[in-house]
Amino acid sequence: MSAHLDPGNAVPGLRADQLRGFRIGVTSDRRSGDLIAALERRGAHVLHAPALRIAPNDQDGLLIAETRALINARPDVVLVTTGYGMRRWFEVADAAGLGAELTAVLEDSRILARGPKALGAVRAAGLDDAAMSELETTASLVDAVLEQDWTGLTVAIQLHGYTDEVQLARLKAASRAVLTVTPYRWVKPDGNERLPRFIDDVCRRQLDAITFTSAPAADATLATARSLGVYDSFVDALRRDVVTAAVGPVTATPLLDAGLTPIMPDRYRMGALIRRVCEHLDQHRVERFRTDDAVIELRGRCVTVTGPQQQAPQSVMLGPNALALLRRLAQAEGGVVSRQDLIDSLPDAPDDHALEVAISRLRRSLLVPGVISTVVKRGYRLAAVRSAGLS
């Protein structure tokens, strides 16, 4: 496991309990174990539903043929988009006995890498004379070709399983010839019944945040919601109630196109994404309320009560209905909420009986007598004041 995910290398501002009570969805396949473990170490409950997985080409023969064509063409410029793709390309080339020829051709080419990971893989292959694009985007690679006046040359580009056709067209328009190599591709996971359930949880506001680490996964998740007929409900939940987190601007593009505003770290790395999620939920998704003699804190599904009747703060995880009920009452800012309005807010079995059960469980969980008060013939109200000063 990489050092930036090691709990022994604690980053200032991150706490072991920072995500306690929050439910976070992970859509990635590759390196998902690192991400899930890091989130769980900070107290999160993680739901994993990979939207896509990286699969090597079914037959390496195609990649070998592309490599031979590149060796014969001896391109003037080579664009490398991913570290994983570069490593796998050389693995296949070496196995086919083409590694030395490929290295010789690349040594005579101008190599431009998309970001530090791709650059690191290039240098690991013994190719030190390589540069890095200003941004970690395919568009920035094409921009560099145009800005450096490398137009009219033969260009090769290592694709990364999700071809940006717009940028590829720009490259073809400016080049004498464009060769492509495709070391891997994206495919849907086998038996991916988890993703529809995951999308349903989002629509029912049962998640607090979703993380995306690739544009294809974001695109596939939105496409799956559309195919299930719940696209509008899914996007509305992400826009209003469920935090969307993307590792960087490339990953965020499908989300932005859907009208969403994902949070992103300043550095486009997994460790920075984890920190960004921790800080955002801690700062913006923790609610606190004060009664006459107690403080109630709501972090995701976890409600903690501190007051004179408890020797120490008491915490309990709320079920879906009790949580929805507390959130709806809190939205009213001390006002009365009708029974029907509360029933409509319940995600599970919305009826009179479910409301009575949720009210009873919520009252027991809050441990504060009278904090959920009944207003005869009108409904219920939360007898507590939101305490912004405690955030």
Dump pLDDT digits (tens) for 2-38: 333 333 333 445 566 789 999 999 998 877 888 999 9
pLDDT digits (tens, 9 = 90+) for 63-86: 999 999 999 999 999 999 988 889
Among 44-58, 72-86, 361-375, the range with the most confident prediction by mean pLDDT is 72-86
Q: Closest by alpha carbon to 92, among 116, 125, 117, 136? A: 125
Mean pLDDT estimate for the chain? 86
Instruction: State the burial class of residue 32 (Cβ atoms within 10 Å of its Cβ: 0-12, 13-18, 19+).
Output: middle
Percent share of the chain, pLDDT over 90: 46
Whole-prediction pTM value? 0.72
CA distance 344 to 339: 9
- Phi, psi (deg, nearest 5) at residue 300: 65, -115
Which strands sit side by side in the sheet containing 77-80, from one edge to the other? 130-132, 110-113, 77-80, 154-158, 177-181
Q: Closest by alpha carbon to 81, among 3, 173, 174, 167? A: 167
pLDDT digits (tens, 9 = 90+) for 140-196: 889 998 888 888 999 999 987 666 788 899 999 999 999 999 988 777 776 667 899
Domains annotated for the chain, with CATH where assigned, are 3-52+189-284 (3.40.50.10090), 55-186 (3.40.50.10090), 286-390 (1.10.10.10)
Length of the chain: 391
Provide the pLDDT confidence category of residue 313 given band limits of 50, 70 and 90. confident
